[in-house]
Structure 1
């Protein structure tokens, strides 16, 4: 029977069935009521699910940088945060928020909250990537596996008298890529770490694996090459050396030389755009046709917005090797951020980065004295074609009782999609100094006012007649002067005082055993005071005083660099190296800078 006839017969039979219409109406009311109640009761479930997905989307967007073209990435900050004065840096890599460095003849160190030695063996090269907690490194032609958790190492592959291995790179748990070096050439080879079976891949060196695309990026004869592992196809990226790729495989970093000047460049993996992310200046004194620095091993941090690169002087001064951190952003730095970066670069004496933010670059920017030790942004004014940023800058002299508060006007203009400082003008200056009459004098707009003299200080505070004023400052509210007295005898102490300009009262803040005072500085809130001093020619000591609670915290082998708001940028100084950290006086914690 056809479907149409069946449906017609059933319909006719339905009409012949006797129905209790009252019961039908009652059941309908009950059903509709329950149905509506159930509908509204559960309506929040899909809404909550959608909201959860949307929130997860927002959070993921905050944590993972949006991918943009290399040409769109701009330098947000660049600072040399680690100086190695003794021991050549032979290799370094980045893993899980930490930098691992090999120092020739000294071993492998990790840079976290301190520079800590983790292995006696040095390394010639590290793997760019890791497998879990496992890194690879090479030394004297052999390949080693290094467990960063246990800090144990084991040899996994021996070199031979005729060949050696360098630049390891993980492929998977059982296979690694290596550069095999012989008298004739350098080859990229794949090695099974279990069977030691070796497979030739291509001529070249320093391979990085782009796992998602199964491509290798390496150098050959001064060119950066992308090699398709499956097809064997090769594509030239650019002239350059020391290639490295981001963990997500979106960017390539490398060093490129043009007209004698080396710089760090980045390229899209699809080669659509390229971007230079360093500014290598000319040597200060005698132009030689070469840049001031040589760059090596530009490696990426955990994300695609941070680069670490080693730079060395190229002008005969043989300064220490420095590790520089370059922070990239798809957003141009604002006018205020540009001024902040400029002033911070001056305070850590990174003239090269500071100059890159100026339209017209002077030969010198920083001097030994007086030196900048802090700043505060006051106001910003938008104009038709420029922006004015006013800032208060604090300077001191490390050998004299001298402190200066200057108000500067920075005029900025947009150039090549970023702000540059066109002019810097000092609008006003207030100086605090010790005059010939042994008085502390405040000089403002050319007019001097004597605040107090040595004779005004209560004699109970004076421990010797052979004494002089040393480092000093004025608090932000201008009501208090904080100053130090420097004993001139060998056994003399350094004492810190405050002077209230309204009540004329003196208060003893701290007594430091012997030594020489270099500077005092105040955080942006006016609560925390740093005092840098030394007890002999070789040590560096620092004291932080909580002016509200009177609490003191002592540091050894540390110098304060500047206050970044209420956080202190400090430099830990060792016999062979120095490192920058950020210290929070509220919590007593420090983090990498």
Structure 2
């Protein structure tokens, strides 16, 4: 091939070297061979030109293949820009203390809690599983080996490896706890070495300055420490020796050959398990002139993903929006022109940190903080798919996000979002999707939404029709309308009343022996719920140190259940039915903690549900129960889905 045409030799050698790297679709090759049998050679008048065209075609094919099929499977590769956010759920709320990003194993999510240790919870929903402490307070995981057997953790002295089975620790490398530190461990693909960050500082008269910030590789036995480059937050891209890292506010990739490429501005890069994508956090700033002497600037952080093979193939996953702490028009009016050029800065409602992939490229976990210290830090799970949400799923996820106070995701599902979406009281306790269709060419979804007041005789069931419009990202809510068949149930001094929408209250059930609130003889109606489908009323009578749950069946015209709760100074909070109206959750305070009991409508009794024994909050999503539980000494609240 080489030698006859020197001007083509170099390109020819490159093509020959790259041939072996082209992934071959064997089935396609065989089919093409059958469909296009070999042809006899024909005489060529311009062999040099013909050969050049072949080489050019092969080069074009290589370029196309590398872009279209970075993972070697063209049928399964999805552009980052084509991935859709199909759900976003804040799984963990962190109220106080110091916490690192979650660490993902094959079956568990591990949460490092400073001064307490590492906690584990299952990645998949499990009614019997719980949030459990698995290490002492000195061991807080930073990275887990791919086989799930060894965790790397960091303290001020250095980096250590912890064996999850034997509970033994070995030293990987140590600094001096003064001016030399090692941190940010990340495992290589075969778990035999790690990438780490080395930081050297120099003390000055006032503070210190950073002398170096470098990335090293080290064997897991602590040998062969080797500097790779300057930077930090490094990790290997799966199925390669390339690394992704940060340097001077940029996301970088360094190949095994030492070539470096800038991906984008940002921090916290995380390669997906299949090596196709990089997730990271990026700050976007926009500036608008309000007057000759004033500007408005917004600085919003969001989570992005991009393709490893094509950095321009990217998309924003989150929908941060400005925290408008000041009215900009009023601020502009009150400006003193003598003070010169001034700027009003709005940061985001949220700040994002440390995206971490799940077990595949369809799930991403990220830390989400609020705009002030009063707002809890959250571990939020983002689900990705090339498929868009169906209309009914869009409404279900919007309701879920609104109740969970994931306002950014809820707003992303609306065509024209505005203001805050969440309401504290009366608060939603259940929702279910009850129908969908089209009305004058507009797609709609009907939902049944139940609300209640805490520790009060109020229960409301309403039906809402949501109208949706579809774009390339999926369905968006463009409007809603309240349907006519809603009702309220009210506890009064003489019994329980029901009020249909727009009508006067009517007595539903007379209750004798009630007394006003307060005093040693208090006996008042408290939380209640009514199912028109089952013709069943659940109501509670609150007394000073206890409450009694009553179930009245109107079909049988009698009371079918009664039980008094005496657990410390027990006080009922709310009651709610699931979508089928065959199970009810009674949330109450007793024995110095919140808890939940389940009432089985058909069995006419409470059913055992140990998982709910310390549930702080619950709400029904159709037939499933979202449960919030306090753990880690009350500093952490975990949200999970429970199926009765």
- Normalised-by-shorter TM-score class: 0.7 to 0.9
Match of 1:266 in 2: 305
TM-superposed deviation, 1:521: 1.2
Conserved? CA contact 1:254–1:266, under 8 Å: yes
Conservation of the 8 A alpha-carbon contact between 2:214 and 2:229 = yes
Superposed displacement of residue 211, structure 1: 3.6
Instruction: Name the counterpart of 1:298.
Output: 355
Residue aligning to 2:84: 74
Aligned to 1:226: 253
Query: Who is 1:175 aligned against?
Result: 193
Q: How far did 1:451 drift? A: 1.2
Contact 1:97/1:301, CA 8 A, preserved across alignment: no
What is the alpha-carbon distance in structure 1 between the residues aligned to residue 606 and residue 527 of structure 2? 20
Q: Distance in 2 between matches of 1:373 and 1:420?
A: 24
Verify the 8 A CA contact 2:110 2:141 in the aligned structure 1.
no
TM normalised by structure 2 equals 0.75
Contact 1:177 1:190 in 2 (8 A): yes
SS class of match (2:585): strand
The answer for the alignment partner of 1:520 in structure 2 is 575
- How big is each residue's C-alpha offset from its partner over 1:337-385, in whole Å with a ceiling of 9 and x where there is no partner? 0000011122223223222211222312222211111122222113565
Task: State the 1:317 CA deviation.
Answer: 4.1
**1:362 and 2:418 equivalent?**
yes
Separation in structure 2 between the aligned mates of residue 567 and residue 235 of structure 1, nearest angstrom: 47
Which residue among 280, 292, 296 is the counterpart of 1:254?
Answer: 280
User: What's the CA shift string for 1:303-356, capped at 9, x where partnerless?
Assistant: 001111111112x34322211111111100011000000111222232232222
8 Å contact kept, 2:146–2:191: no
Q: Does the aligned pair in 1 maintain the 2:197–2:215 contact within 8 Å?
A: yes
CA distance in 2, matches of 1:548, 1:325: 36
Which runs of structure 2 are paired with 1:421-432 in the superposition (5 Å)?
Answer: 421-432=477-488
- Kept in 1, the 8 Å contact 2:618–2:627? The answer is yes
**For residues 274-293 of structure 1, what are the structure 2 equivalents within 5 Å?**
274-283=314-323, 285-286=325-326, 288-293=345-350
SS in 2 for 1:407: strand
Q: Structure 2 vs 1, CA of residues 323 and 517 (structure 1 numbering), >3 Å: closer, same or farther? A: same
Query: Do residues 140 (structure 1) and 156 (structure 2) align?
Result: yes
**Following the alignment from structure 1 to structure 2, what is the Cα–Cα distance between the partners of residues 118 and 501?**
50
Change (3 A) 1:91 1:332: closer
Task: Please tell me the root mean square deviation across aligned C-alpha atoms, in Å.
Answer: 2.4
**CA distances 1:238-258 after superposition (whole Å, capped 9, x unpaired):** 000001111211110000000
Select which of 213, 219, 240 maps to 1:192.
Answer: 219
User: What is the rounded CA distance, in whole Å, between the counterparts of 2:222 and 2:502 in structure 1?
Assistant: 81
**Alpha-carbon distance between aligned partners in 2 of 1:552 and 1:174, rounded to the nearest angstrom:** 50
When residues 435 and 162 of structure 1 are mapped into structure 2, their CA distance, relative to the original with a 3 A threshold, is: closer
2:506 and 2:221 mapped to 1: Cα distance? 81
Instruction: Find the counterpart in structure 2 of residue 530 from structure 1.
Output: 585
Matched, 1:238 2:256: no
TM-score, scaled to structure 1? 0.81
Alignment check: 8 A CA contact 2:273 2:359 kept:
yes
Cα deviation for residue 551 of structure 1 reads 4.1
Per the alignment, residue 93 of structure 1 pairs with: 103
Gaps of 5+ in 1: 1-64, 586-593
Aligned to 2:641: 582
Could you say what secondary structure the match of 1:331 adopts?
coil
Secondary structure, counterpart of 1:185 in structure 2: strand
Distance 1:435 1:321 in 2: 38
- The residue correspondences of 1:69-468 to structure 2 (distance < 5 A) are 69-112=79-122, 113-122=129-138, 126-127=142-143, 129-160=145-176, 161-171=178-188, 172-183=190-201, 184-194=211-221, 196-229=223-256, 231-259=257-285, 260-271=299-310, 272-283=312-323, 285-286=325-326, 288-314=345-371, 316-383=372-439, 386-434=442-490, 436-447=492-503, 448-455=505-512, 466-468=522-524
Runs of 4+ aligned residues of structure 1 deviating over 6 Å after TM superposition are none
Preserved CA contact (<8 Å) 1:385 1:413 = no
Q: Residue 91 of structure 1 contacts residue 124 of structure 1 at CA under 8 Å; is this kept in 2?
A: no
1:139 Cα deviation from its structure 2 partner: 1.8
Q: 1:214 to 1:385 in 2, by over 3 A?
A: farther
Structure 1 Cα separation of the partners of residues 367 and 138 of structure 2: 17
Match of 2:39 in 1: none
Q: Tell me the CA shift for residue 418 of structure 1.
A: 1.6
2:134 partner SS = strand
Equivalent in the alignment of 1:45: none
Any unmatched runs of 5+ in structure 2?
Answer: 1-74, 123-128, 202-210, 286-298, 328-344
Judge conservation of contact 1:310–1:322 (CA < 8 Å) in 2. yes
2:277–2:305 CA contact under 8 A, matched in 1: yes
Taking structure 1 as reference, are residues 217 and 379 closer, same or farther at Cα in structure 2, changes over 3 Å only? same
Q: Which moved more, 1:272-281 or 1:259-268?
A: 272-281
Distance (Å, rounded) in 1 between the aligned partners of 2:509 and 2:426 = 23
Change (3 A) 1:398 1:377: same
Contact 1:255/1:263 (8 A) holds in 2: yes
Kindly provide the CA deviation profile for residues 422-479 of structure 1, in whole angstroms up to 9, marking residues without a partner as x: 002112253333365533111113223211222399x9xxxx9631111111115051
Q: Secondary structure at the match of 1:340?
A: helix
- Distance of aligned partners of 1:217 and 1:141 in 2 relative to their CA distance in 1, 3 Å threshold: farther
SS of match in other structure, 2:346: coil
Deviations 1:364-413 (A, max 9, x none): 22222111111222221135653111111111111321111111010000
Instruction: Compare 172-181 and 243-252 and name the one that shifted more.
Output: 172-181
Corresponding residue SS for 2:608? strand
**Mapped contact 1:393–1:407 kept (Cα < 8 A):** yes
Structure number with greater Rg is 1
Q: Tell me whether 1:501 sits opposite 2:558 in the alignment.
A: no
Greater CA drift, 341-350 or 321-330: 341-350
